[in-house]
């Protein structure tokens, strides 16, 4: 009796731990969001372009249909900035920002992904001039939508802000603007989870960068990633290592500058990085769906394990 009930318990545990988690993200809508955002019709989503506004609308309507709350009109946090490189002022760029209250905390987790990309540019050898930005960063944006959908049905412990950021390619402008116009004191931010380029890697590796600065997060993430694909790697966060240090490479940079903890999920650069070939056909759907499920599992673990006050 004892041994059989014991084995029943361990069988159950096996199902809960290994099978129980498997694919919680709705993969069809994840992939169709990525496909829509990186389609030629959106022409590379450069800030304030027609395609960028279409992407913005798409995210807005998704957040609205999930019943997310927001601290801004119509989910839009507008901002204006100068691009010194282009000698141009961008007026009324916009982050799309949704919010879910938590069950038991005032400390907020801010999940970010930039939805802008670099638009139309120089033709490649195939005559293609649309820089679709499928991996960079329709992949993070569609993942942000999928995570919001998951948590809108499974309330987190901590409040979560879901911020689709604009102007990243023009100097992390959306992240800077969000922190300047944040609806709570910045001390209330527990953690920034940023996603930028998460849909392909030939070695089956996804990085969680930033644990050099926050070693206490590493054990939580390592545990969450046991038995999961892709392989979760740590690194690209040592100071004074030049290009190999990703600490300022995407929207988690302005959070780091404000001394807010961050974890950045991303892959190493590939041959289509900032080229017209960064298109939907060239992402790896299996890698991508697994990566987003892994990020969800890490987010759930952080939400569970990090302090509430
Ligand atoms: Zn990017």
Report the predicted TM-score, pTM, of the whole model to 2 decimal places.
0.93
Contact 115, 42 (CB under 8 A): no
Give residue 2's pLDDT.
Answer: 44
Task: State the distance from the centre of ligand 1 to the C-alpha of 3, rounded, in angstroms.
Answer: 53
Q: What number is the average pLDDT over the span 22-44?
A: 95
CA 207 to chain centre: 12
Q: At residue 272, what are phi and psi to the nearest 5 degrees?
A: -95, 5
CB-based contacts of 131, cutoff 8 Å, min separation 6: 44, 117, 118, 119, 120, 121, 274, 275, 276, 278
For residue 198, the CA-to-ligand 1 centroid distance in Å is 10
What values do phi and psi take at 236, rounded to 5? 55, 35
Ligand 1 centroid distance, CA of 52 (Å): 14
Enter the tokens of residue 278.
Answer: 């960064």
The 10s digit of each residue's pLDDT in 57-112 is: 999 999 999 999 999 999 999 999 999 888 999 999 999 999 999 998 889 999 99
Fold classification of 25-305 is: Aminopeptidase (3.40.630)
Confidence of residue 241 (pLDDT cuts 50, 70, 90): confident
Q: Which pLDDT score is estimated for 242?
A: 85
CA 170 to centroid of ligand 1, rounded, Å: 10
Q: Which residue has the higher pLDDT, 15 or 226?
A: 226
Cα 250 to ligand 1 centre (Å): 6
Q: For residue range 115-154, what is the model confidence (pLDDT) as tens digits? A: 999 999 999 999 999 999 999 999 999 999 999 999 999 9
Q: What is the pLDDT of residue 308?
A: 80
Surface-to-core class of residue 54, CB atoms within 10 Å of its CB (0-12 exposed, 13-18 middle, 19+ buried): middle
Q: What is the pLDDT of residues 170-211, one digit of tens each?
A: 999 999 999 999 999 999 999 999 999 999 999 999 999 999
pLDDT value at position 15? 52
Q: Where are the domains of the chain?
A: 25-305
Separation of CA 19 and ligand 1 centre (Å): 33
Separation of CA 84 and ligand 1 centre (Å): 19
Mean pLDDT over the full length of the chain? 94
Distance CA 140, CA 233 (A): 18
How many A from CA of 215 to the centre of ligand 1? 25
Give pLDDT, residue 119.
98
- Distance from Cα 23 to the centre of ligand 1, integer Å: 25
Tokens of 118: 């670099």
């Amino acid at each position: 009796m004892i041994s059989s009930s014991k084995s029943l318990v361990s069988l159950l545990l096996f199902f809960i731990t290994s099978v129980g988690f498997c694919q919680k993200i709705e993969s069809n809508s994840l992939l169709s969001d990525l496909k829509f955002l990186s389609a030629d019709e959106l022409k590379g989503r450069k800030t304030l372009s027609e395609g960028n506004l279409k992407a913005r609308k798409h995210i807005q309507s998704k957040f609205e249909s999930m019943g997310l709350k927001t601290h801004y009109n119509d989910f839009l946090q507008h901002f204006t900035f100068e691009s010194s490189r282009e000698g141009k002022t961008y007026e009324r760029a916009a982050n799309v920002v949704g919010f879910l209250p938590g069950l038991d905390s005032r400390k907020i987790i801010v999940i970010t992904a930039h939805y802008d990309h670099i638009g139309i540019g120089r033709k490649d050898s195939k005559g293609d001039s649309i820089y679709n930005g499928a991996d960079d960063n329709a992949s993070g944006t569609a993942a942000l939508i999928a995570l919001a959908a998951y948590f809108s049905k499974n309330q987190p412990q901590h409040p979560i802000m879901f911020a689709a950021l604009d102007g990243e390619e023009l100097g992390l402008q959306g992240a800077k603007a969000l922190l300047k116009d944040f609806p709570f004191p910045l001390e209330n931010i527990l953690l920034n989870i940023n996603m930028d380029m998460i849909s392909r890697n030939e070695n089956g590796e996804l990085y969680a960068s930033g644990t050099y600065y926050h070693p206490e997060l590493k054990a939580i993430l390592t545990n969450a990633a046991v038995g999961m694909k892709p392989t979760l790697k740590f690194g690209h966060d040592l100071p004074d290592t030049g290009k190999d240090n990703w600490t300022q490479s995407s929207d988690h940079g302005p959070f780091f500058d404000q001394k807010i903890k961050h974890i950045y999920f991303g892959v190493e650069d590939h041959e289509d990085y900032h080229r017209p070939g960064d298109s939907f056909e060239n992402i790896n759907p299996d890698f991508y769906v697994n990566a987003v499920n892994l990020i969800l599992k890490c987010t759930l673990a952080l939400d569970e394990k990090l302090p509430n006050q």
